[in-house]
Amino acid sequence: MSGLLAGVDVGTTNCKVGVYTLDGTAVVERRRPTPVDAGNLVAGVLDDLRVCVETSGAPDAVGVTGVAEGGLPLDNELLPMGPMLWWHDKRASGEAGWLAERVGREAIFVRTGVHVSARTPLASWLWLRRHQPALLDEMRVWVGIPELVATVLAGTPLAHRTFAGRSGAYDQVADRWDDDLLDLAGVRAGQLAEQQVGSAAAGPLPVGTPVVVAGHDHLVAAHAAGAREPGDVVDSLGTAEAVVTVSERVAPRTAAGTGTSWNRTADGTRWAMVSGFPHCGRLLEWLCSLASPAGDVAGLEKATEAVDRRPTGIVVLPYLEGLGAPAPDPHRRLTVHDLAPGQGLPDVLVGALEGASYHARWLAEHHAELTDTKLHTVTVLGGPSRGAAWMTVKAHVMPGPVRTTTTADAACAGAALLAGVATGLPAPVLRSDVLTRDDLLADRYDAIYRGGFLPRVREVA
């Protein structure tokens, strides 16, 4: 045994590959932009995995995680039969509407945990059934995009139920595919992989190395960060922001239509409430572009250092293109309220970070209310969590205590650790630091959150 584990994280923006020690410490990591083509995506991951293994030595297992919803059909040779469909593809909007009318949004949500939309794989299968039916008739298996990487490594179809749980066709409580929903698209349960663990057949890993699908990236990162007990919250920042709250209960029927979904935790022992802020990355990029000509995080950090008034008192509703969970409204846009005389651009920049933090707190409290769960620790992770300006705000806005992981990519490291769990190793928690929190300042933020942000965000246009 080498005492090393490899992880792969197929993200919307970047693919990350790393080799880690058994506690999640990075030995070597690589990343590259995520291609939209299946062949280039797999080739890039395999090349980075090869380089990592050559640098560190062969791992004892490899785990794969990444984005949910997207996928593609594979033929009998496990080769792509068409282009990958990504989660942001809108072509199945009509089919999503048809599902909502035929089955009912609430009925689908109660059975599957999913708010049906164009991104839902079941809607994509309906689109394929109507426009390219031969693909579904002739495919050997449908796999999600991270599952494709694991399937190529193992030479056999591999999957994870947290990806199934994002499909809109999986009965979450019964833990099986819903035949009635599959029948709507003419997809058979036998065309959907269920095996989670395989063995490397060829490529950059020694033959026989365990290959494990670790699960949906947000849930994998949450598990690795230690969110394993009811009330534990993870705030995952990246291209999109996801707030994940662990619960003993599934979301009730009343949560249908709020934009909040529910799924199994990565280890399958509890339930996870998941709500997103899909424009998190775009918001941060925009703020950086306003802060300095370079348009980078360093410029934003420098610009906000001059703001002494905390909280700013400014209420920013940070919605560049509509509000999602917990009160969907596609017409909401970014607005600035309560700007005081003497305040300028740096104050507005901090106000926008405050507004995004208020929104994340709103999501976590929505989860707690839905499931009658008391919130405990909050762990913030992802690339943007390295920035002091935003984390100082989050430390005082989010229900405390608030931590940040010291691992740069918790999902990639988490995939590696869950691969170890699948082979019989314990499940360590990634190291984290508790953010400094001033209770008096937190109280002032609480007053603005309750008296300023919530009333404004709940206003009906």
Tokens representing 455 are 């009333």
pTM of the model: 0.94
pLDDT in tens, 111-120: 999 999 999 9
pLDDT of residue 18: 98
Query: Averaged over 291-320, what is the pLDDT?
Result: 96
- For the chain, report the end-to-end CA distance as a whole number of angstroms: 61
Query: Averaged over 165-178, what is the pLDDT?
Result: 97
Q: Is the pLDDT score of 461 beyond 60?
A: no
Query: Averaged over 428-432, what is the pLDDT?
Result: 95
Domains of the chain are: 4-218 (3.30.420.40)
Asked whether 226 and 432 are in contact (CB, 8 A), the reply is yes
pLDDT of residue 460: 64
Query: Averaged over 376-383, what is the pLDDT?
Result: 93
pLDDT in tens, 88-111: 899 999 999 999 999 999 999 999
Beta strands in 22-134 (DSSP E): 26-33, 62-66, 71-74
- Report the chain's mean pLDDT, rounded to a whole number: 96
Asked whether 416 and 6 are in contact (CB, 8 A), the reply is yes
Query: Averaged over 446-454, what is the pLDDT?
Result: 98
- Beta 170-171 vs 62-66: how paired, if at all? unpaired
Q: Is the pLDDT score of 433 beyond 90?
A: yes
Q: Is the pLDDT score of 203 beyond 90?
A: no
CB burial string 252-286: b at 16+ within 10 A, e below: eeebbebbbbbbbbbbeebbbbbbbbbbbbebbbb
Query: Averaged over 338-367, what is the pLDDT?
Result: 98
pLDDT of residue 380: 97
Q: Is the pLDDT score of 242 beyond 90?
A: yes
Asked whether 123 and 116 are in contact (CB, 8 A), the reply is yes
